[in-house]
Structure 1
Amino acid sequence: MSIFKDITYRYCKKILDAYQVKADEKTYKGKEAELLIQRNELARGLIESIKEIEVNEGDHTKYFDQVLNTITAKLKEVETAVSEYNKKFKTSFTTDLYETFFTASLISFIKALNTLVQNSPVVILNIEDKSLFSNKKDSPWFYYFSFVLYEYILEKELDFATNKTDRDIFDAKKGLILKYILNAGNLYTRFAEDESNAEYKELMKVLLKSMDSDEKDIQRRKTEETNASSSLYSYFAPSFHKASEKLVGRNQLGQKLELLIKDFNEKSETAGLTV
Protein backbone atom coordinates (compact mmCIF):
# COMPACT_ATOMS: atom_id res chain seq x y z
CA MET A 1 0.00 0.00 0.00
CA SER A 2 1.30 3.45 -0.91
CA ILE A 3 2.37 5.48 2.12
CA PHE A 4 0.55 8.43 0.56
CA LYS A 5 -2.78 6.64 0.84
CA ASP A 6 -2.17 6.38 4.58
CA ILE A 7 -1.01 10.01 4.75
CA THR A 8 -4.12 11.15 2.86
CA TYR A 9 -6.44 9.38 5.27
CA ARG A 10 -4.60 10.58 8.39
CA TYR A 11 -4.64 14.21 7.37
CA CYS A 12 -8.20 14.16 6.05
CA LYS A 13 -9.19 12.92 9.51
CA LYS A 14 -7.32 15.85 11.05
CA ILE A 15 -9.28 18.23 8.83
CA LEU A 16 -12.51 16.49 9.87
CA ASP A 17 -11.55 17.00 13.53
CA ALA A 18 -10.80 20.68 12.89
CA TYR A 19 -14.15 21.06 11.11
CA GLN A 20 -16.05 19.51 13.99
CA VAL A 21 -14.29 21.80 16.48
CA LYS A 22 -15.31 24.83 14.44
CA ALA A 23 -18.86 23.54 14.15
CA ASP A 24 -19.01 23.02 17.92
CA GLU A 25 -17.90 26.61 18.45
CA LYS A 26 -21.00 27.89 16.66
CA THR A 27 -24.45 27.94 18.21
CA TYR A 28 -27.00 25.90 16.30
CA LYS A 29 -30.60 25.69 17.45
CA GLY A 30 -33.69 23.78 16.49
CA LYS A 31 -33.90 22.74 12.87
CA GLU A 32 -30.41 24.05 12.10
CA ALA A 33 -28.97 21.78 14.79
CA GLU A 34 -30.74 18.83 13.19
CA LEU A 35 -29.24 19.72 9.83
CA LEU A 36 -25.79 20.05 11.41
CA ILE A 37 -26.01 16.45 12.62
CA GLN A 38 -26.86 15.35 9.10
CA ARG A 39 -23.96 17.33 7.62
CA ASN A 40 -21.55 15.88 10.19
CA GLU A 41 -22.62 12.34 9.32
CA LEU A 42 -21.99 13.06 5.65
CA ALA A 43 -18.57 14.51 6.53
CA ARG A 44 -17.58 11.37 8.42
CA GLY A 45 -18.88 9.26 5.55
CA LEU A 46 -16.69 11.19 3.13
CA ILE A 47 -13.54 10.43 5.12
CA GLU A 48 -14.38 6.74 5.15
CA SER A 49 -14.99 6.84 1.38
CA ILE A 50 -11.56 8.42 0.89
CA LYS A 51 -10.06 5.65 3.01
CA GLU A 52 -11.37 3.06 0.55
CA ILE A 53 -9.75 4.62 -2.53
CA GLU A 54 -6.67 2.71 -3.67
CA VAL A 55 -3.47 3.76 -5.42
CA ASN A 56 -3.45 1.40 -8.39
CA GLU A 57 -0.16 0.55 -10.10
CA GLY A 58 1.56 3.49 -8.44
CA ASP A 59 -0.60 6.02 -10.30
CA HIS A 60 -0.81 8.76 -7.68
CA THR A 61 -2.16 11.34 -10.14
CA LYS A 62 -5.21 9.20 -10.81
CA TYR A 63 -5.52 8.47 -7.09
CA PHE A 64 -5.66 12.14 -6.11
CA ASP A 65 -8.08 12.87 -8.95
CA GLN A 66 -10.37 10.21 -7.49
CA VAL A 67 -10.04 11.73 -4.01
CA LEU A 68 -10.89 15.22 -5.30
CA ASN A 69 -13.82 13.88 -7.33
CA THR A 70 -15.12 12.09 -4.24
CA ILE A 71 -14.89 15.30 -2.21
CA THR A 72 -16.74 17.26 -4.91
CA ALA A 73 -19.42 14.58 -5.28
CA LYS A 74 -20.04 14.55 -1.52
CA LEU A 75 -20.41 18.34 -1.50
CA LYS A 76 -23.12 18.04 -4.16
CA GLU A 77 -24.79 15.42 -1.99
CA VAL A 78 -24.71 17.82 0.96
CA GLU A 79 -26.09 20.65 -1.18
CA THR A 80 -28.96 18.39 -2.25
CA ALA A 81 -29.62 17.35 1.36
CA VAL A 82 -29.71 20.99 2.50
CA SER A 83 -32.00 21.95 -0.38
CA GLU A 84 -34.42 19.13 0.41
CA TYR A 85 -34.32 20.01 4.10
CA ASN A 86 -35.13 23.65 3.38
CA LYS A 87 -37.98 22.64 1.10
CA LYS A 88 -39.42 20.24 3.66
CA PHE A 89 -39.23 22.58 6.66
CA LYS A 90 -39.50 25.92 4.83
CA THR A 91 -36.09 27.05 6.09
CA SER A 92 -33.18 28.80 4.36
CA PHE A 93 -30.09 27.08 5.70
CA THR A 94 -26.84 26.70 3.73
CA THR A 95 -24.04 24.17 3.49
CA ASP A 96 -22.30 26.44 6.03
CA LEU A 97 -18.91 25.29 7.34
CA TYR A 98 -19.16 22.02 5.44
CA GLU A 99 -18.46 23.90 2.22
CA THR A 100 -16.59 27.01 3.38
CA PHE A 101 -14.21 25.21 5.75
CA PHE A 102 -14.34 21.41 5.47
CA THR A 103 -14.52 21.02 1.69
CA ALA A 104 -12.27 24.00 0.98
CA SER A 105 -9.62 22.74 3.42
CA LEU A 106 -9.71 19.21 2.04
CA ILE A 107 -9.29 20.37 -1.55
CA SER A 108 -6.47 22.75 -0.63
CA PHE A 109 -4.59 20.07 1.30
CA ILE A 110 -5.08 17.31 -1.28
CA LYS A 111 -3.76 19.56 -4.04
CA ALA A 112 -0.71 20.40 -1.91
CA LEU A 113 -0.16 16.70 -1.14
CA ASN A 114 -0.43 15.83 -4.83
CA THR A 115 2.24 18.44 -5.62
CA LEU A 116 4.45 16.96 -2.90
CA VAL A 117 4.06 13.48 -4.35
CA GLN A 118 4.88 14.67 -7.87
CA ASN A 119 8.15 16.09 -6.52
CA SER A 120 9.06 13.05 -4.41
CA PRO A 121 11.92 10.69 -5.36
CA VAL A 122 11.06 7.24 -6.68
CA VAL A 123 12.58 5.55 -3.63
CA ILE A 124 9.91 7.27 -1.50
CA LEU A 125 7.07 6.57 -3.94
CA ASN A 126 7.96 2.89 -3.99
CA ILE A 127 7.66 2.38 -0.22
CA GLU A 128 4.89 -0.15 0.40
CA ASP A 129 5.48 -0.96 4.05
CA LYS A 130 4.28 2.13 5.92
CA SER A 131 6.00 0.90 9.11
CA LEU A 132 9.34 1.73 7.44
CA PHE A 133 8.33 5.35 6.89
CA SER A 134 8.04 6.50 10.48
CA ASN A 135 9.75 8.38 13.29
CA LYS A 136 10.99 5.15 14.81
CA LYS A 137 14.74 5.44 15.18
CA ASP A 138 15.24 1.77 14.38
CA SER A 139 13.97 2.42 10.85
CA PRO A 140 16.56 2.78 8.08
CA TRP A 141 18.08 6.25 8.48
CA PHE A 142 16.97 7.52 5.07
CA TYR A 143 13.32 6.70 5.80
CA TYR A 144 13.50 8.21 9.28
CA PHE A 145 15.16 11.37 7.91
CA SER A 146 12.56 11.68 5.13
CA PHE A 147 9.63 11.03 7.46
CA VAL A 148 10.65 13.80 9.88
CA LEU A 149 10.95 16.32 7.06
CA TYR A 150 7.78 15.20 5.26
CA GLU A 151 5.82 15.54 8.49
CA TYR A 152 7.15 19.10 8.80
CA ILE A 153 5.86 19.87 5.30
CA LEU A 154 2.52 18.15 5.87
CA GLU A 155 1.82 19.90 9.17
CA LYS A 156 2.58 23.24 7.53
CA GLU A 157 0.31 22.46 4.57
CA LEU A 158 -2.42 21.43 6.99
CA ASP A 159 -2.09 24.76 8.77
CA PHE A 160 -2.25 26.67 5.48
CA ALA A 161 -5.31 24.69 4.39
CA THR A 162 -7.27 25.09 7.62
CA ASN A 163 -6.13 28.47 8.92
CA LYS A 164 -5.24 30.26 5.66
CA THR A 165 -1.97 31.50 7.17
CA ASP A 166 0.73 33.28 5.17
CA ARG A 167 3.14 30.88 3.41
CA ASP A 168 5.97 33.40 3.91
CA ILE A 169 9.27 31.57 3.15
CA PHE A 170 7.79 28.09 3.50
CA ASP A 171 7.93 27.31 -0.22
CA ALA A 172 11.66 28.07 -0.27
CA LYS A 173 12.18 25.71 2.66
CA LYS A 174 9.94 23.09 1.08
CA GLY A 175 12.04 23.23 -2.08
CA LEU A 176 15.18 22.86 0.03
CA ILE A 177 13.79 19.79 1.79
CA LEU A 178 12.77 18.07 -1.44
CA LYS A 179 16.18 18.80 -2.99
CA TYR A 180 18.02 17.18 -0.10
CA ILE A 181 15.65 14.24 0.24
CA LEU A 182 16.28 13.54 -3.45
CA ASN A 183 20.04 13.71 -2.86
CA ALA A 184 19.77 11.51 0.24
CA GLY A 185 17.68 9.02 -1.74
CA ASN A 186 20.32 8.90 -4.46
CA LEU A 187 22.94 8.11 -1.81
CA TYR A 188 20.74 5.43 -0.29
CA THR A 189 20.27 3.63 -3.61
CA ARG A 190 23.87 4.25 -4.72
CA PHE A 191 25.13 2.26 -1.75
CA ALA A 192 22.49 -0.44 -2.29
CA GLU A 193 20.71 0.59 0.92
CA ASP A 194 23.82 -0.32 2.94
CA GLU A 195 23.81 2.43 5.56
CA SER A 196 26.67 0.82 7.47
CA ASN A 197 29.08 1.72 4.67
CA ALA A 198 31.76 4.14 5.94
CA GLU A 199 31.74 6.23 2.76
CA TYR A 200 27.95 6.50 2.92
CA LYS A 201 28.18 7.81 6.47
CA GLU A 202 30.73 10.46 5.53
CA LEU A 203 28.74 11.61 2.51
CA MET A 204 25.54 11.77 4.56
CA LYS A 205 27.29 13.93 7.16
CA VAL A 206 28.35 16.32 4.39
CA LEU A 207 24.80 16.36 3.02
CA LEU A 208 23.28 17.15 6.42
CA LYS A 209 25.81 19.90 7.09
CA SER A 210 25.13 21.45 3.69
CA MET A 211 21.36 21.30 4.20
CA ASP A 212 21.66 22.94 7.60
CA SER A 213 23.81 25.71 6.11
CA ASP A 214 21.36 26.33 3.25
CA GLU A 215 18.43 26.48 5.67
CA LYS A 216 20.26 29.06 7.76
CA ASP A 217 20.87 31.13 4.63
CA ILE A 218 17.15 31.14 3.79
CA GLN A 219 16.25 32.14 7.33
CA ARG A 220 18.96 34.80 7.48
CA ARG A 221 17.78 36.43 4.25
CA LYS A 222 14.24 36.51 5.60
CA THR A 223 15.43 38.04 8.87
CA GLU A 224 17.43 40.68 7.02
CA GLU A 225 14.43 41.56 4.85
CA THR A 226 12.18 41.78 7.90
CA ASN A 227 14.62 43.93 9.82
CA ALA A 228 15.13 46.21 6.81
CA SER A 229 11.38 46.70 6.49
CA SER A 230 10.78 47.17 10.20
CA SER A 231 13.62 49.71 10.52
CA LEU A 232 11.51 52.14 8.52
CA TYR A 233 9.00 52.11 11.34
CA SER A 234 11.38 51.65 14.27
CA TYR A 235 11.40 55.32 15.20
CA PHE A 236 7.62 55.42 15.44
CA ALA A 237 7.06 51.86 16.62
CA PRO A 238 10.17 50.56 18.45
CA SER A 239 8.26 47.62 19.88
CA PHE A 240 7.62 46.30 16.36
CA HIS A 241 11.32 46.51 15.53
CA LYS A 242 12.20 44.69 18.73
CA ALA A 243 9.70 41.93 18.00
CA SER A 244 11.28 41.33 14.58
CA GLU A 245 14.57 40.45 16.24
CA LYS A 246 13.01 37.25 17.56
CA LEU A 247 13.43 35.77 14.08
CA VAL A 248 17.16 35.48 14.63
CA GLY A 249 16.89 32.26 16.69
CA ARG A 250 16.60 28.77 15.18
CA ASN A 251 13.19 28.18 13.70
CA GLN A 252 11.16 24.99 13.65
CA LEU A 253 12.89 23.48 10.62
CA GLY A 254 16.30 24.55 11.91
CA GLN A 255 15.64 22.76 15.19
CA LYS A 256 14.59 19.60 13.36
CA LEU A 257 17.79 19.64 11.33
CA GLU A 258 19.89 20.04 14.47
CA LEU A 259 18.19 16.99 15.98
CA LEU A 260 18.60 14.98 12.78
CA ILE A 261 22.31 15.78 12.66
CA LYS A 262 22.65 14.79 16.31
CA ASP A 263 20.73 11.54 15.73
CA PHE A 264 22.82 10.64 12.69
CA ASN A 265 26.10 11.29 14.46
CA GLU A 266 25.02 9.12 17.40
CA LYS A 267 23.95 6.29 15.10
CA SER A 268 27.06 6.36 12.93
CA GLU A 269 29.56 6.75 15.75
CA THR A 270 28.21 4.16 18.19
CA ALA A 271 26.13 1.13 17.35
CA GLY A 272 25.98 1.88 13.64
CA LEU A 273 23.03 2.36 11.32
CA THR A 274 20.19 -0.05 10.78
CA VAL A 275 20.58 -1.96 7.55
Structure 2
Amino acid sequence: MLSLIGLLAGLGLLIILTMRGFNLFITAPLCALLVAVTNGIPFWQVSDKLDFVNGYMSGFSGFVAAWFLMFLLGSLFGKLMEHTGAADAVALAIVNKLGQGKAVLAVVLACAVLTYGGVSVFVVAFSAYPMAVSLFKGANLPRRFIPAALALGSVTFTMTSAGSPEIQNWIPIPYLNTSPYAGWQVSIIVAIFMAVCGYMLLMWMINRAVSQGEHFTQRSSDPEITDRALPHPLKGIVPLGVVLLLSFLLHDSLQQAALIVALTGGVVSLYLLNYRFLHNPAAATNEGVLGALLAIGNTAAV
Protein backbone atom coordinates (compact mmCIF):
# COMPACT_ATOMS: atom_id res chain seq x y z
CA MET A 1 0.00 0.00 0.00
CA LEU A 2 2.81 2.39 0.90
CA SER A 3 4.52 1.69 -2.43
CA LEU A 4 1.36 2.56 -4.35
CA ILE A 5 0.89 5.76 -2.35
CA GLY A 6 4.51 6.70 -3.02
CA LEU A 7 4.10 6.10 -6.75
CA LEU A 8 0.96 8.24 -6.96
CA ALA A 9 2.51 10.94 -4.78
CA GLY A 10 5.64 11.00 -6.93
CA LEU A 11 3.64 11.39 -10.14
CA GLY A 12 1.40 14.05 -8.62
CA LEU A 13 4.35 16.02 -7.27
CA LEU A 14 6.09 15.82 -10.65
CA ILE A 15 3.03 17.31 -12.36
CA ILE A 16 2.64 20.10 -9.79
CA LEU A 17 6.31 21.12 -9.80
CA THR A 18 6.49 21.03 -13.60
CA MET A 19 3.42 23.25 -13.92
CA ARG A 20 5.04 25.68 -11.48
CA GLY A 21 8.05 25.98 -13.75
CA PHE A 22 10.66 23.88 -11.93
CA ASN A 23 13.33 22.25 -14.07
CA LEU A 24 12.72 18.59 -14.89
CA PHE A 25 16.39 17.71 -14.38
CA ILE A 26 15.84 18.52 -10.69
CA THR A 27 12.21 17.56 -10.08
CA ALA A 28 12.24 14.19 -11.88
CA PRO A 29 15.08 12.63 -9.82
CA LEU A 30 13.57 14.00 -6.59
CA CYS A 31 10.17 12.53 -7.38
CA ALA A 32 11.81 9.25 -8.40
CA LEU A 33 13.64 9.25 -5.05
CA LEU A 34 10.30 9.56 -3.26
CA VAL A 35 9.05 6.51 -5.14
CA ALA A 36 12.26 4.63 -4.30
CA VAL A 37 12.04 5.41 -0.58
CA THR A 38 8.41 4.29 -0.31
CA ASN A 39 9.29 1.08 -2.16
CA GLY A 40 12.24 0.23 0.10
CA ILE A 41 14.88 0.79 -2.59
CA PRO A 42 18.20 1.90 -1.03
CA PHE A 43 19.78 5.16 -2.21
CA TRP A 44 23.21 3.60 -2.78
CA GLN A 45 24.26 0.06 -3.48
CA VAL A 46 24.69 -1.90 -0.27
CA SER A 47 24.22 -5.41 -1.71
CA ASP A 48 23.12 -7.07 -4.91
CA LYS A 49 19.74 -5.38 -4.50
CA LEU A 50 18.74 -2.66 -6.95
CA ASP A 51 19.67 0.82 -5.70
CA PHE A 52 18.26 4.22 -6.66
CA VAL A 53 21.38 5.89 -8.08
CA ASN A 54 22.44 3.09 -10.42
CA GLY A 55 18.87 2.21 -11.36
CA TYR A 56 17.90 5.78 -12.20
CA MET A 57 21.07 6.61 -14.13
CA SER A 58 20.96 3.31 -16.05
CA GLY A 59 17.44 4.16 -17.17
CA PHE A 60 18.47 7.71 -18.06
CA SER A 61 21.49 6.73 -20.14
CA GLY A 62 19.69 3.78 -21.71
CA PHE A 63 16.89 6.01 -22.99
CA VAL A 64 19.35 8.53 -24.45
CA ALA A 65 21.32 5.77 -26.19
CA ALA A 66 18.19 4.22 -27.69
CA TRP A 67 16.45 7.39 -28.90
CA PHE A 68 19.07 10.11 -29.45
CA LEU A 69 19.25 9.79 -33.25
CA MET A 70 15.46 9.95 -33.57
CA PHE A 71 15.23 13.05 -31.39
CA LEU A 72 18.14 14.65 -33.27
CA LEU A 73 16.78 13.99 -36.77
CA GLY A 74 13.25 14.98 -35.73
CA SER A 75 14.53 18.25 -34.31
CA LEU A 76 16.65 18.96 -37.40
CA PHE A 77 13.68 18.23 -39.65
CA GLY A 78 11.51 20.64 -37.69
CA LYS A 79 14.10 23.41 -37.67
CA LEU A 80 14.71 23.08 -41.41
CA MET A 81 10.95 23.29 -41.98
CA GLU A 82 11.01 26.46 -39.90
CA HIS A 83 14.12 28.14 -41.34
CA THR A 84 13.29 27.42 -44.98
CA GLY A 85 9.76 28.73 -44.51
CA ALA A 86 8.29 25.39 -45.64
CA ALA A 87 6.18 25.08 -42.47
CA ASP A 88 4.87 28.62 -42.94
CA ALA A 89 4.08 27.88 -46.60
CA VAL A 90 2.05 24.76 -45.78
CA ALA A 91 0.16 26.44 -42.95
CA LEU A 92 -0.50 29.58 -44.99
CA ALA A 93 -1.82 27.55 -47.93
CA ILE A 94 -4.35 25.79 -45.69
CA VAL A 95 -5.36 29.06 -44.04
CA ASN A 96 -5.84 30.80 -47.41
CA LYS A 97 -7.87 27.88 -48.72
CA LEU A 98 -10.36 27.97 -45.84
CA GLY A 99 -10.37 31.71 -45.20
CA GLN A 100 -11.33 33.76 -42.16
CA GLY A 101 -14.85 32.33 -42.08
CA LYS A 102 -13.34 29.09 -40.81
CA ALA A 103 -10.64 30.66 -38.64
CA VAL A 104 -10.59 27.99 -35.93
CA LEU A 105 -10.80 25.07 -38.39
CA ALA A 106 -7.98 26.57 -40.47
CA VAL A 107 -5.68 26.79 -37.43
CA VAL A 108 -6.50 23.24 -36.31
CA LEU A 109 -5.96 21.72 -39.77
CA ALA A 110 -2.71 23.61 -40.35
CA CYS A 111 -1.30 22.28 -37.08
CA ALA A 112 -2.63 18.77 -37.77
CA VAL A 113 -1.01 18.45 -41.20
CA LEU A 114 2.39 19.60 -39.92
CA THR A 115 2.32 17.48 -36.75
CA TYR A 116 1.22 14.29 -38.49
CA GLY A 117 3.98 14.88 -41.02
CA GLY A 118 6.59 14.68 -38.28
CA VAL A 119 7.26 18.35 -37.49
CA SER A 120 7.84 18.99 -33.77
CA VAL A 121 5.10 20.67 -31.78
CA PHE A 122 7.29 23.66 -30.92
CA VAL A 123 7.98 24.42 -34.59
CA VAL A 124 4.30 23.95 -35.47
CA ALA A 125 3.23 26.42 -32.78
CA PHE A 126 5.89 28.91 -33.87
CA SER A 127 4.72 28.71 -37.50
CA ALA A 128 0.97 28.71 -36.90
CA TYR A 129 0.71 31.26 -34.09
CA PRO A 130 1.09 34.43 -36.23
CA MET A 131 -1.53 33.10 -38.64
CA ALA A 132 -3.83 32.20 -35.76
CA VAL A 133 -3.55 35.74 -34.38
CA SER A 134 -4.36 37.19 -37.79
CA LEU A 135 -7.34 34.87 -38.32
CA PHE A 136 -8.79 35.41 -34.85
CA LYS A 137 -8.37 39.16 -35.30
CA GLY A 138 -10.16 39.09 -38.65
CA ALA A 139 -13.01 37.00 -37.24
CA ASN A 140 -13.04 39.05 -33.98
CA LEU A 141 -12.77 35.92 -31.81
CA PRO A 142 -11.42 35.97 -28.23
CA ARG A 143 -7.66 35.53 -28.38
CA ARG A 144 -7.58 33.38 -25.23
CA PHE A 145 -8.77 30.44 -27.35
CA ILE A 146 -5.76 30.55 -29.69
CA PRO A 147 -3.69 28.14 -27.52
CA ALA A 148 -6.65 25.74 -27.46
CA ALA A 149 -6.90 25.76 -31.27
CA LEU A 150 -3.14 25.18 -31.61
CA ALA A 151 -3.23 22.36 -29.06
CA LEU A 152 -6.24 20.63 -30.62
CA GLY A 153 -4.46 20.39 -33.96
CA SER A 154 -1.02 19.43 -32.66
CA VAL A 155 -1.08 17.43 -29.42
CA THR A 156 -4.29 15.38 -29.62
CA PHE A 157 -5.50 13.23 -32.51
CA THR A 158 -2.43 13.63 -34.78
CA MET A 159 0.38 13.02 -32.32
CA THR A 160 -0.88 9.63 -31.11
CA SER A 161 -2.64 8.31 -34.22
CA ALA A 162 -1.44 5.13 -35.91
CA GLY A 163 1.32 5.86 -38.41
CA SER A 164 2.30 9.17 -36.87
CA PRO A 165 6.09 9.68 -36.98
CA GLU A 166 5.95 11.59 -33.70
CA ILE A 167 8.11 10.03 -31.01
CA GLN A 168 5.12 9.38 -28.73
CA ASN A 169 3.84 6.82 -31.23
CA TRP A 170 7.20 5.03 -31.55
CA ILE A 171 8.53 4.84 -27.99
CA PRO A 172 6.09 2.07 -26.85
CA ILE A 173 7.00 -0.23 -29.77
CA PRO A 174 9.86 -2.23 -28.14
CA TYR A 175 7.99 -2.49 -24.84
CA LEU A 176 4.65 -3.62 -26.27
CA ASN A 177 6.14 -5.54 -29.22
CA THR A 178 3.89 -3.73 -31.68
CA SER A 179 4.31 -1.49 -34.73
CA PRO A 180 3.57 2.21 -35.31
CA TYR A 181 0.41 1.09 -37.11
CA ALA A 182 -0.87 -1.13 -34.31
CA GLY A 183 -4.62 -0.92 -33.87
CA TRP A 184 -5.02 1.42 -36.83
CA GLN A 185 -8.73 0.61 -37.19
CA VAL A 186 -9.44 1.70 -33.63
CA SER A 187 -6.99 4.58 -34.02
CA ILE A 188 -8.98 6.03 -36.93
CA ILE A 189 -12.19 5.95 -34.91
CA VAL A 190 -10.53 7.48 -31.86
CA ALA A 191 -8.80 10.17 -33.94
CA ILE A 192 -12.08 11.16 -35.61
CA PHE A 193 -13.83 11.19 -32.24
CA MET A 194 -11.12 13.37 -30.68
CA ALA A 195 -11.02 15.76 -33.63
CA VAL A 196 -14.79 16.18 -34.03
CA CYS A 197 -15.65 16.34 -30.35
CA GLY A 198 -12.69 18.59 -29.60
CA TYR A 199 -13.64 20.97 -32.41
CA MET A 200 -17.31 21.03 -31.39
CA LEU A 201 -16.43 21.71 -27.77
CA LEU A 202 -13.97 24.44 -28.73
CA MET A 203 -16.50 26.14 -31.01
CA TRP A 204 -19.17 25.91 -28.30
CA MET A 205 -16.83 27.61 -25.83
CA ILE A 206 -15.89 30.31 -28.36
CA ASN A 207 -19.49 31.01 -29.39
CA ARG A 208 -20.50 31.17 -25.72
CA ALA A 209 -17.72 33.66 -25.01
CA VAL A 210 -18.69 35.78 -28.03
CA SER A 211 -22.35 35.82 -26.97
CA GLN A 212 -21.22 37.16 -23.60
CA GLY A 213 -19.48 40.08 -25.28
CA GLU A 214 -15.90 38.83 -25.55
CA HIS A 215 -13.92 39.85 -28.62
CA PHE A 216 -10.38 39.98 -29.95
CA THR A 217 -8.04 42.29 -28.06
CA GLN A 218 -5.00 43.62 -29.88
CA ARG A 219 -1.58 43.59 -28.23
CA SER A 220 1.44 45.63 -29.21
CA SER A 221 3.57 42.47 -29.13
CA ASP A 222 1.36 40.55 -31.56
CA PRO A 223 3.40 38.92 -34.34
CA GLU A 224 2.58 39.54 -37.97
CA ILE A 225 2.58 37.05 -40.81
CA THR A 226 5.98 37.17 -42.45
CA ASP A 227 6.27 38.77 -45.88
CA ARG A 228 9.51 37.00 -46.74
CA ALA A 229 9.71 34.83 -49.83
CA LEU A 230 8.32 31.37 -49.08
CA PRO A 231 8.71 28.16 -51.05
CA HIS A 232 5.76 26.63 -52.86
CA PRO A 233 3.53 24.70 -50.41
CA LEU A 234 4.24 21.46 -52.30
CA LYS A 235 7.91 21.83 -51.38
CA GLY A 236 6.84 21.59 -47.76
CA ILE A 237 4.27 18.85 -48.26
CA VAL A 238 6.62 16.52 -50.22
CA PRO A 239 9.13 16.10 -47.33
CA LEU A 240 6.22 15.39 -44.96
CA GLY A 241 5.07 12.72 -47.40
CA VAL A 242 8.58 11.28 -47.64
CA VAL A 243 8.71 10.78 -43.87
CA LEU A 244 5.30 9.09 -43.78
CA LEU A 245 5.98 6.91 -46.84
CA LEU A 246 9.40 5.66 -45.71
CA SER A 247 8.18 4.91 -42.19
CA PHE A 248 5.27 2.94 -43.68
CA LEU A 249 7.41 0.95 -46.12
CA LEU A 250 10.24 0.14 -43.71
CA HIS A 251 8.65 -0.27 -40.28
CA ASP A 252 8.30 -4.07 -40.62
CA SER A 253 11.85 -4.71 -41.80
CA LEU A 254 13.76 -2.07 -39.82
CA GLN A 255 11.39 -1.58 -36.85
CA GLN A 256 12.63 1.40 -34.78
CA ALA A 257 15.39 2.17 -37.28
CA ALA A 258 12.68 2.88 -39.86
CA LEU A 259 11.98 6.20 -38.18
CA ILE A 260 15.67 7.14 -38.42
CA VAL A 261 15.68 6.38 -42.16
CA ALA A 262 12.35 8.18 -42.65
CA LEU A 263 13.46 11.34 -40.87
CA THR A 264 16.77 11.27 -42.72
CA GLY A 265 14.86 11.10 -45.99
CA GLY A 266 12.70 14.00 -44.85
CA VAL A 267 15.73 16.13 -43.95
CA VAL A 268 17.50 15.38 -47.25
CA SER A 269 14.43 16.00 -49.42
CA LEU A 270 13.60 19.16 -47.51
CA TYR A 271 17.12 20.53 -48.04
CA LEU A 272 17.25 19.61 -51.73
CA LEU A 273 13.86 21.16 -52.45
CA ASN A 274 14.29 24.31 -50.38
CA TYR A 275 18.03 25.02 -50.13
CA ARG A 276 17.53 28.42 -51.80
CA PHE A 277 15.37 29.51 -48.89
CA LEU A 278 17.80 28.30 -46.21
CA HIS A 279 19.80 31.46 -45.55
CA ASN A 280 21.68 30.27 -42.46
CA PRO A 281 22.26 26.48 -42.45
CA ALA A 282 24.57 26.67 -39.42
CA ALA A 283 21.93 28.42 -37.28
CA ALA A 284 19.25 25.91 -38.27
CA THR A 285 21.54 22.97 -37.50
CA ASN A 286 22.71 24.36 -34.16
CA GLU A 287 19.16 25.14 -33.03
CA GLY A 288 18.09 21.64 -34.04
CA VAL A 289 20.89 19.99 -32.06
CA LEU A 290 20.24 22.10 -28.95
CA GLY A 291 16.52 21.42 -29.18
CA ALA A 292 17.14 17.68 -29.46
CA LEU A 293 19.47 17.64 -26.45
CA LEU A 294 16.95 19.51 -24.30
CA ALA A 295 14.01 17.37 -25.42
CA ILE A 296 15.72 14.01 -24.94
CA GLY A 297 17.29 15.12 -21.65
CA ASN A 298 13.93 16.12 -20.21
CA THR A 299 12.26 12.95 -21.47
CA ALA A 300 15.03 10.71 -20.13
CA ALA A 301 14.90 12.46 -16.75
CA VAL A 302 11.19 11.74 -16.42
| TM-score scaled by length of structure 1 | 0.31
| TM-score scaled by length of structure 2 | 0.29
Larger relative contact order (Cα-Cα within 8 Å, sequence gap ≥ 6):
2
